[in-house]
Amino acid sequence: MGNSFGNLFKLTSFGESHGISIGGIIEGCLPNIKIDFSLIQDELKRRRPGQSNITTQRKEEDIVEFQSGFLEGKTTGMPIGFIIKNSDHKSKDYSHNSDVYRPSHADYTYDNKFGIRDYRGGGRSSARETAVRIVAGAIAKQILLKLNISFHAFVSEVGNIKIESNYSKLDLTLKNIESNKVRCPVQLKAVEMQSLIENVKKKGDTIGGKITCIIKNTPIGLGEPVFDRLNAELAKAMFSINAVKGFELGSGFDCVAMIGSEHNDEFYIENDVVKTRTNNSGGIQGGISNGEDIYFNVAFKPVATIMQKQKTINTNNENVELMGRGRHDPCVVPRAVPIVEAMAAMVILDYYLIQKSKKL
Amino acid sequence: MGNSFGNLFKLTSFGESHGISIGGIIEGCLPNIKIDFSLIQDELKRRRPGQSNITTQRKEEDIVEFQSGFLEGKTTGMPIGFIIKNSDHKSKDYSHNSDVYRPSHADYTYDNKFGIRDYRGGGRSSARETAVRIVAGAIAKQILLKLNISFHAFVSEVGNIKIESNYSKLDLTLKNIESNKVRCPVQLKAVEMQSLIENVKKKGDTIGGKITCIIKNTPIGLGEPVFDRLNAELAKAMFSINAVKGFELGSGFDCVAMIGSEHNDEFYIENDVVKTRTNNSGGIQGGISNGEDIYFNVAFKPVATIMQKQKTINTNNENVELMGRGRHDPCVVPRAVPIVEAMAAMVILDYYLIQKSKKL
Amino acid sequence: MGNSFGNLFKLTSFGESHGISIGGIIEGCLPNIKIDFSLIQDELKRRRPGQSNITTQRKEEDIVEFQSGFLEGKTTGMPIGFIIKNSDHKSKDYSHNSDVYRPSHADYTYDNKFGIRDYRGGGRSSARETAVRIVAGAIAKQILLKLNISFHAFVSEVGNIKIESNYSKLDLTLKNIESNKVRCPVQLKAVEMQSLIENVKKKGDTIGGKITCIIKNTPIGLGEPVFDRLNAELAKAMFSINAVKGFELGSGFDCVAMIGSEHNDEFYIENDVVKTRTNNSGGIQGGISNGEDIYFNVAFKPVATIMQKQKTINTNNENVELMGRGRHDPCVVPRAVPIVEAMAAMVILDYYLIQKSKKL
Amino acid sequence: MGNSFGNLFKLTSFGESHGISIGGIIEGCLPNIKIDFSLIQDELKRRRPGQSNITTQRKEEDIVEFQSGFLEGKTTGMPIGFIIKNSDHKSKDYSHNSDVYRPSHADYTYDNKFGIRDYRGGGRSSARETAVRIVAGAIAKQILLKLNISFHAFVSEVGNIKIESNYSKLDLTLKNIESNKVRCPVQLKAVEMQSLIENVKKKGDTIGGKITCIIKNTPIGLGEPVFDRLNAELAKAMFSINAVKGFELGSGFDCVAMIGSEHNDEFYIENDVVKTRTNNSGGIQGGISNGEDIYFNVAFKPVATIMQKQKTINTNNENVELMGRGRHDPCVVPRAVPIVEAMAAMVILDYYLIQKSKKL
């Protein structure tokens, strides 16, 4: 348990940050679909370390090597096996941590849970594992694009700098997401965010952030009530990503202060198309997509590794001090944008396939 | 799919608001455990309609009738089947809705998904279904209490009235949760919340709210990285409840504006016990419980049924007006408190059993 | 675990022989399908105790009471909950067994596994539980009949009396299955089998038997290689039935003595239809249905309860003697025929739905 | 679906016969266990092509390369990823089959199911995929041996040559299994079987066979009634192997002709140990292991590829003739022996872990 995600479209993953490779198996991929492999590699580049001065300076090429599941560029319906070799592990960077539990890291809990800990760079708990999700998500996105379904995640908040506009006002700006290092579609905010991240980095500190994701053109009817609601699966998908502390759909936590007459999304019909006047539901009602934009926010905590002295304990249960080392991200959200999209795409394709089984 | 929750401790549920009964099957319940059935019924009472003037006035006795799985008051390890009869359905109340899609309800999405809709009171999409979860949760809670694990959910916010204190300051007040109709442990706030709900109700409107849940004494080591992290499963559990729009663990969305040196939870050891000085992690690190209090917030939207005129469409795709009728909750959070606890208890027991399989 | 069968079309069951009721929840049933409830009851009659002098004389009406999942006679796509009350349990019949482990029964293993045993008539290990499967299977059969898929199980062997003809020669006789108490389509053999069972019964003994099942008109393409082959799932389905000791598909164990040139099923095309000249494959190749008849055999051991004195041990680990009592079947296969069909129908419908998800 | 096996101890596999590699991910492996990697490689050698004159002459080194899940030779509890490169694929051998459906192969069903077929040597339907199972099984066997549980599969029948003795008489001979090419523990029979296989091979034909497997020292209590009985899972495990046509446990199909008083396994206690006088149950009662030897038989059909002319159809739906080519096994059972053991070991370990969750 724990290494698979999805039901009919399913990813099972393996790999630690400092093992030989990370990789996965994708099951349930539709057969007979032409895949553009360069688009998968492009998605990996969006997540790759070392892409700019505001991400970690570790170097990983992150080249995916497919082992199975394709014939002459098309999917065969067979499981897609793939590996991504770990090229730049530099175990030395991490060996000094082998007997210390880093604060707000997973060292302590892994060691207690398993009775053994892979101290090399966090082992399995490293975010390096998310590269595998990118591969599965990139395939899901290609397939869903044939149905016109598209995914638009972006950084909407870093520290106290935030995009103020409602999600629905951002449509024209979404094309800018990749135009800056932060992946914020509002250019002025992007500049401020970048500056903030650089300042935090200089102090050897890190900072939190928020990603918003908009999914367009999801067909009506995806979601399996009552326990496997589409929103419940999206919540789990997002909370399965390292450093996530919050998830909200549509009106989200703002709904607490709202009254029903204001929060309800009235239906109307115009030119034979059913729409809602507002979208506080975030495109999901009763756990099922209603055809409107799905949008949600994901909160990411500041990266736990800081270049400052911290108090902690070691594996002998002694109080000690720890000085951070290594090459880490000062803020995780710029690189987490494609991960959010990948997880969302896996959910939507999986639930799309499930919905296919409702008719004889 | 969609009607089961859990892995080793698993609930499968059935039933619509206006069918003969609702009920479920609990699998994986440990054998040989004495169950106090009156405690289960007590939990059902906490969720029951008609319990106070700030909840719906529908009358349902909600008596659980166990069909299997017990011998002389003890669990046998066999599946526990149970039903709860629907005593007060009054279909007349609902028939006027049969050809109209109520705004922000599940009518429209169910009809589109399944090609058929049970218009009697929302059918399966009614929150009545959650009574079944209470039963499973009450059994899980009894079992976990033998391990000293306890669950304390309460209303922390209604509209713009909120408890301001950090969760950790509330320990002494938790005993007050059941002392007021709102289920808010801070009595002054409870009074204000109740008054607000009553005012909203008079206007035929509804209001949102927030529930905080604290889980005490969870052992270290629960959670299955990477996809089945304990927080991911809790997120899914909470988002599987009707009307939930947000979930946050520990520092939650506040983490966005924090820096790492402030957010990190430093470990220290005192009297041979490992603790953290702060608990922004909310008791879970790397997806695994660390032994600190687990705490999280859940946002509930205002109930969608309001006693006011609203615009919407009907099943013939015509724009129409709808006037709300029936007996509904003006605010869902007071009755949702035991549901949050029930889902949390199911997750913790399930993950506890999974963890048992890590040793030969 | 253990109480669910199926993936997309899934039955979860509960209940012991002497509890209040047995029952189940069917998930994934297609919506909007008119169900003939009398046909479900007819199938229950085929399994019911007391149906003839060669079955147990216990009386159970086995009336299924649906709790949910239907609106005006049609499925809604919601989970179908149902119970079957236990009317004639007569616990007295069984109390004398409470401290003895009956040979070749499940008493000893249940007690050791769970640390507690429901001694009332075998509890969960009683074949009474199979009535629940009949309900799910009867619904699956009705749905599959719309696709022209039909199930024909019959008794092909009791003791040393067997139908000698190849399965393919029996088509014209299949209409006779229900014409005799044994459910053997070859009338002369049925008479012999009945006489044998009556003789065995007089001696207070029991006898084994074999059921053959033919599935007609299965579409090409059902089965999920490599682990979830259609034959693997059928094997599991049959071995999940009480008293089953063997399962073989097509040529079955006879294949051991055959050579490839004789065993291979040559394809040919005639009037645009692809067929195979022989059907040693039993309609399944590479784990996937090929459109030919699927047929298989299931071996059932003699019922373990005999009206004779046997040596065994008691719960104090003492060697004792046990004299059988109660009302039991002298041969299980006549009543097991509808169970085999029910399990087969559940597998085929489930795999049919899975196959629906292979196209965008 | 289809590429995973197991619940808590789970293998997910990928790979086709002519892809870059085959491989898999093992989840749920207990942490902190020292693994002897040479024993894994030894098991692969038992399955490897080209091991003797009575197996295919294809050359595959079958070197497993672990990617993750180990630290300094010990399991970490993390998923174990591994690949086995395909060294000797020689696609030329197979290209002549690309437009013909080979009789009793999976070509026709795969092509119809997926709408695309990997014609290179059978693609995913090739038995090459079973090497992956050997790896997972070899790890399971090492872990189970710490509990003294051992697996002894052997060839008990080829064509009309069979071991006549009851399984229980073979204990002293089990050490001979690896002493001959056939893997038959009775040396005289092994010689006859080998001679028969050689003769069949000379004629360009193939022949069926039977494997018996004995599992020793399984603890009492493994198996999850009612649907996930230990025998049901073993049945599925065996039927998931290529070419299997029958599975029987204990008395198996012989039970059909037996009476209850003869078939029942009487319990007795001797020196404080509970035993049964006979073992027709095959070590499993009510779906749960009873501590006696588990034993079962598996029937394998003659290999479908024969070096003779056969009639069939092509992908244009024309009747054609096909002449077999390539390097194939004349009889599959000698190489299938370790596969049967591997699948059995995976089932037993998985069910052992499940049973661990029955106590608080």
Q: Is B359 on the interface with D (CB under 8 A)?
A: yes
In this complex, is the C-beta atom of C8 within 8 Å of any C-beta atom belonging to chain D?
Answer: no
Q: Name which of B112, B140, B134, B108 is nearest B122 in CA terms.
A: B108
Chain B, 53 to 112: residues with Cβ < 8 Å from chain C are 65-69, 71, 74-81, 83
Number of Cβ within a 10 Å radius of residue B59: 13
| pLDDT tens digit sequence for D176-201 | 999 999 999 999 999 999 999 999 99
Helices and strands per DSSP (H, E), number in chain D: 8, 19
Q: Which residues pair with C216 in a beta bridge?
A: C150
**D313: pLDDT strictly greater than 70:** yes
Asked if residues D75 and D29 have their Cβ atoms less than 8 Å apart, the reply is: yes
Q: Which sign, positive or negative, has the C-alpha torsion D343, D345, D348, D352?
A: negative
Closest-CA residue of D relative to A15 is D68
Tell me: the pLDDT tens digits for C146-165?
A: 999 999 999 999 999 999 99
Q: Please name the helix (run of DSSP H) or strand (run of DSSP E) that holds residue D133, with its range, or none.
A: helix D130-145
What would the pLDDT profile of B29-73 be if each residue is shown by its tens digit?
A: 999 999 999 999 999 999 998 898 888 888 888 999 999 999 999
Q: For residue B189, what are its two tokens?
A: 């706030």
User: Rounded to whole angstroms, how far apart are CA atoms A340 and C35?
Assistant: 43
Q: For residues C152 and C94, what is the distance between their CA atoms, to the nearest angstrom?
A: 35
**B287 — contact with chain D (CB < 8 Å)?**
no
D residues 14-33 near A, CB within 8 Å? Answer: 14-16, 19-25, 27-28, 31-32
Residues A157-184, mean pLDDT to the nearest whole number: 96
Percentage above 70 pLDDT, chain C: 97
Averaged confidence pLDDT in chain C: 94
Q: Which of A224, A225, A299 sits opposite B256 (nearest CB)?
A: A299
Contact between C129 and D226 (Cβ < 8 Å): yes
Q: Give the contacts of B66 (CB within 8 A, at least 6 positions apart).
A: B37, B80, B81, B82, C20
> Measured at the alpha carbon of residue C26, what is the angle toward residues B4 and C174, in degrees to the nearest 5?
150
Which one-letter amino acid corresponds to residue C28?
G
d(CA C117, CA C130): 19
Are residues B81 and C80, on separate chains, in Cβ contact within 8 Å? no
Contact call for C260 and D304, based on CB within 8 A: yes
- Alpha-carbon distance of C247 to C224, in angstroms, equals 19
| Alpha helix positions (H), A155-228 | 187-202
Per-residue pLDDT for A97 more than 70? no
* Contact status, residue D133 vs residue D23, Cβ threshold 8 Å: no
For C168, other C-beta atoms within 10 Å of its C-beta total 12
Q: Is the pLDDT of residue D286 over 70?
A: yes
Residue in chain B nearest D351 by alpha carbon? B357
Q: Cis ω on the peptide bond leading into residue A256 (within 30° of 0)? A: no
Would the CB atoms of B257 and A159 count as touching at under 8 Å?
yes
Q: What is the DSSP annotation of C46-72?
A: HH-TTSSTTS--------EEE-SSEET
**Cα separation of A156 and A179, whole Å?**
15
Structure tokens at C58: 């216990």
List, edge to edge, every strand of the sheet that includes A4-5: A4-5, A10-14, A21-27, A80-85, A64-66
Q: Is residue A332 within 8 Å of A209, Cβ to Cβ?
A: yes
Q: Between β-strands A150-158 and A161-162, what pairing exists: parallel, antiparallel or unpaired?
A: antiparallel
Strands of D21-27's sheet, edge to edge?
D4-5, D10-14, D21-27, D80-85, D64-66
Instruction: In whole angstroms, give the CA distance from residue B52 to residue B44.
Output: 14
Average pLDDT per block of 10 residues along chain B, 360 residues long = 97 95 97 96 94 86 96 96 83 67 95 90 91 98 97 98 94 95 97 97 97 98 98 98 98 98 97 96 98 98 96 95 87 98 98 90
pLDDT in tens, B295-315: 999 999 999 999 999 999 999
Other CB atoms within 10 A of residue C356 CB: 17
**Average pLDDT score over residue span C60-74:** 94
Predicted pLDDT of residue C91: 54
Kindly report the nearest CA distance between residue D293 and chain A, in angstroms: 30
A318 Cβ under 8 Å from any chain B Cβ = yes
B37 touches C: beta carbon within 8 Å: no
Is-contact A326 A166, C-beta < 8 A?
A: no
Per-residue pLDDT at B232: 98
Distance CA D277, CA D288 (A): 18
Q: CA-CA-CA-CA torsion for C337, C338, C342, C345, nearest 10 degrees?
A: 70
Question: Are D249 and C245 within 8 A, CB to CB?
Answer: yes
Amino acid residing at D287: G
Residues in chain D within 8 Å Cβ distance of C239: 229, 231-232, 234-236, 247, 249
The Cα of B32 is separated from the nearest Cα of chain C by a number of Å equal to 6
pLDDT digits 0-9 by tens, A255-275:
999 999 999 999 999 999 999
CA C220 – CA C134 distance, rounded (Å): 26
Task: Estimate the crossing angle of helix D230-239 against helix C230-239, to 10 degrees.
Answer: 160
Rounded CA-CA distance D286/C240 in Å is: 10
Domain of residue A44 covers: 4-358
Report the neighbours of C using a cutoff of 3 or more CB pairs below 8 angstroms.
Answer: A, B, D
The gap from C-alpha A223 to its chain's centroid, in whole angstroms, comes to 20
- How far is it, in rounded angstroms, from Cα D112 to Cα B106? 39
Q: Does residue C72 come out as left (phi exceeding 0), alpha (psi in the -120 to 50 range) or beta?
A: left
Helix (H, G, I), strand (E, B) or coil at A151: strand
CA angle, residues C125, C130, C132, in degrees to nearest 5: 120
Q: What is the mean pLDDT of residues D241-265?
A: 98
For residue A295, the chain B residue with the least C-alpha distance is B245
pTM (whole model) above 0.90: yes
Could you read off the pLDDT of D255-268 as tens digits, one per residue?
Answer: 999 999 999 999 99
Best of B11, B14, B16 to substitute, by most chain C Cβ atoms within 10 angstroms, is B14
Average pLDDT of the residues in C129-149: 98
CB contact at 8 A, D232 and D286 = no
Averaged pLDDT, D330-341: 97
Q: Does D318 touch chain C (CB under 8 A)?
A: yes
Are the Cβ atoms of B76 and C116 closer than 8 angstroms? yes
CATH number at residue B67: 3.60.150.10
What band does D324 get if pLDDT is binned at 50, 70 and 90? confident
Contact call for residues A301 and B258 (beta carbons, < 8 A): yes
Angle at A64 between CA A62 and CA A67, to 5 degrees: 155
- Residues of D numbered 248-277 whose beta carbons fall under 8 angstroms of chain C's beta carbons: which are they? 248-253, 255-269, 272, 274, 276-277
Give the pLDDT of residue B160.
97
Asked if the model's pLDDT at residue C239 lies above 60, the reply is yes
Spatial distance between the Cα atoms of B236 and B230, rounded to a whole number of angstroms:
10
pLDDT at C97: 67
What's the total number of domains in chain C? 1
Mean pLDDT of chain A: 94
Alpha carbons B235 and A345: distance in angstroms, whole number: 19
Q: Both tokens of residue C260?
A: 């490839």
- Tokens 């975030």, residue? A282
Q: How far is B113 from D12, CA to CA, in rounded Å?
A: 32
Which chains does chain B touch, 3 or more C-beta pairs < 8 A?
Answer: A, C, D
Q: Which residues pair with B289 in a beta bridge?
A: B284
What DSSP character marks residue B30? P
Residues in chain A with CB shorter than 8 Å from the CB of D75 are 116
The answer to whether residue C89 scores a pLDDT higher than 80 is no
Q: Determine what percent of chain A is predicted with pLDDT higher than 90.
A: 88
Inter-residue contact D264 to D250 (CB < 8 Å): no
Judge whether residue D94 has pLDDT over 60: no
**Residues B330, B51: contact at Cβ < 8 Å?**
no
Closest to A340 (Cα-Cα) out of A348, A352, A328: A348
State the Cα–Cα distance between residues A138 and A83, nearest whole angstrom: 15
Tokens at D153, concatenated: 């599969």
D207 vs D158: CA distance, rounded Å:
7
